[in-house]
Chains A and B, each alone.
Chain A
Amino acid sequence: MSAGTPDLAALAVGQSIGTRTVEVDRRTLVRYAGASGDLNPIHWNERFAVEVGLPGVIAHGMFTMGTAVTLVADWAGDPGAVVEYGTRFTRPVPVPDPGTAVLQVEGVVGAIDLEARTVRVDLTVTSEGARVLGKAQATVRL
């Protein structure tokens, strides 16, 4: 984080910006529910989640989206450098109890705009080998 800003001129499309592994348990979800104000019971109430046809309690898509982009913010050296970020939610992440779900996050430079001084980072986020976010892309201004 203190390594500073990446050198735009030295970046290449396809280059990895790194990886991150995130372990998620029920406590993680309760904390996100409280901090975000998203109190949908599918994220903390097993009975309710099963009743609405889910395999069990699932992570907030916005938690997965929010934690995945920390890789980009840390790489950029400033979370305020993230000027655009979007994703589709393609697959729910069941979070067992007891136990944890594991998210694997990887970022690759997808595009570079030297004039605008922006870099698009394409994120791959998987759980148990399956992609849980689709077309997750963050643009940073360096």
Chain B
Amino acid sequence: MAVNTAFAGRSYAPTEAYQVGREHVRAFAAAVLADHPAHHDVAAARALGHPDVVAPPTYAVVIAQLAEAQLVQDPEAGIDFSRVVHADERFVHHRPIHAGDELVTTLHVDSITERAGLAMVTTRCEIAAADGEPVATVVSTLAVRGESS
């Protein structure tokens, strides 16, 4: 089934809060080979003015992809993950993400365009603190190959 372009422009209700754990920040940093002490050592992070260990710049993808699942795993959206290639990704950090943050994400489907048997699906996740303070914006584009290609 083809990607359902009727999903373009759709916005979802904010997700349940995601709790950023200190050990998870450390594990994610280790997984991207980020050995800056501010990811691992609370005292080093505090010396730089952070309240706790600071997440690597791409950590927000973990939170974003949970929100994106609302679209990607919806059978009505017609996104066959075996035909998906990640085309591009962009992060804007309104402030760094730290261990201890509780973050709520609102998913927007900014556009779905089709050309030459390829559907380009662009989503935007607005990640905010529980009090509404903007934390990060994550824009992701997936390229979905059509059935015939």
Binding site for B on A (CB under 8 A): 1, 22, 28, 31-32, 34-38, 40, 52, 61-63, 65-67, 69-70, 72-74, 77-80, 82-89, 134, 138
| CB–CB A79/B54 < 8 A | yes
Q: What CA separation (Å) do A78 and B98 show in the bound complex?
A: 13
Distance of A51 from chain B, by nearest CB (Å): 8
A85, B96: Cβ atoms closer than 8 Å = no
Contact B27 A79 (CB under 8 A): no
User: Once the chains are docked, how many angstroms separate the CA of A134 from the CA of B92?
Assistant: 18
Complex: how many Å from CA A80 to CA B34?
Answer: 13
CA A55 – CA B38 in complex, angstroms? 37
The interface size of chain B toward A, counting residues with CB under 8 Å, comes to 38
- Bound Cα distance from A87 to B139, whole angstroms: 11
Q: A79-B56, A89-B88 are in contact. Are A36 and B61 (CB under 8 A)?
A: yes
Q: Is the CB of B89 within 8 A of A65?
A: yes
The contact string, 1 if C-beta is below 8 Å from chain A, for chain B 66-105, is: 1000000000000001110111111111001000000000
A69 CB contacts on chain B under 8 angstroms: 56-58
Which residues from chain B contact A77 at a C-beta distance below 8 Å?
48
CA distance A31 to B65 in the complex (A): 17
- Asked whether A74 lies within 8 Å of B87 as measured between CB atoms, the reply is no
Closest chain B CB from A20 CB (angstroms): 9
> Which residues of chain A come closer than 8 Å to B62, judged between CB atoms?
36-37
Contact: B90 with A79, CB < 8 Å?
no
- Least Cβ distance of A30 to chain B in Å? 9
Among A62, A73, A74, point to the contact of B89 (Cβ < 8 A).
A62
Among the interface residues A38, A61, A78, A89, which one has the most CB atoms of the partner chain B within 10 A? Answer: A78
Beyond known contacts A37-B62, A70-B36: 19 more, CB 8 A cutoff:
A35-B24, A36-B28, A36-B65, A37-B66, A61-B86, A62-B61, A66-B58, A70-B34, A78-B48, A79-B34, A79-B96, A80-B48, A82-B93, A86-B90, A86-B139, A87-B90, A89-B85, A89-B88, A138-B57
